[in-house]
Amino acid sequence: MTFFTYSTVIPAPVQTVFAFHESARALERLLPPWQDVRVVRKQGGLEPGSRVELELRLGPFRQAWVARHTGYQRDVFFSDIQEKGPFRIWNHRHEFAPAGPAACRLTDRIEFSLPGGALIDWLAGWAVKLQLRRMFAYRHAATLAACLESA
């Protein structure tokens, strides 16, 4: 298993940052433009049991990614796991914590494992972490922009 964490302080209250993530178009806004990904279907919001189906394009190939939300506490966290997709294991926890009177620390914690087991994780995990770092830098910047727009 490989672990990845990305954290940013957003100058907006926790409630504002969490509300953005609950909004109907948040997922589409958080998808980096350099990734060829589209939302196929959303069932529910962030509450446990809700699901999101994505389609990834990897060169000439298409890959389905189905995520199911597994945990939720308003203004504190929500979590999801991959039910189907490119990873052997994917557990993602989105955390929201006060960082002052009008700021929020947004933290994404991911546990993942690639197909092929521990040796592949060891050989290629660093490359996945580089891609995740770039993606979450974009996602956190998009969250910041959305929260500033709503202020």
pLDDT tens digit at each of 151 positions of the chain: 889 999 999 999 999 999 999 999 999 999 999 999 999 999 999 999 999 999 998 788 899 999 999 999 999 999 999 999 999 999 999 999 999 889 999 999 999 998 887 767 777 788 889 999 999 999 999 999 999 887 6
Give residue limits of the domains in the chain: 2-150
Give yes or no for a contact between 85 and 62, defined as CB atoms under 8 angstroms apart. no
Q: Which CATH class is domain 2-150?
A: alpha beta
Enter the pTM of the model.
0.93
- Helices 118-150, 14-22: axis angle to 10 degrees equals 110
- Alpha carbons 21 and 44: distance in angstroms, whole number: 13
Evaluated on CA atoms 10, 14, 15, 17, the torsion sign reads: positive
Who's near 149: CB < 8 A, 6+ residues apart?
none
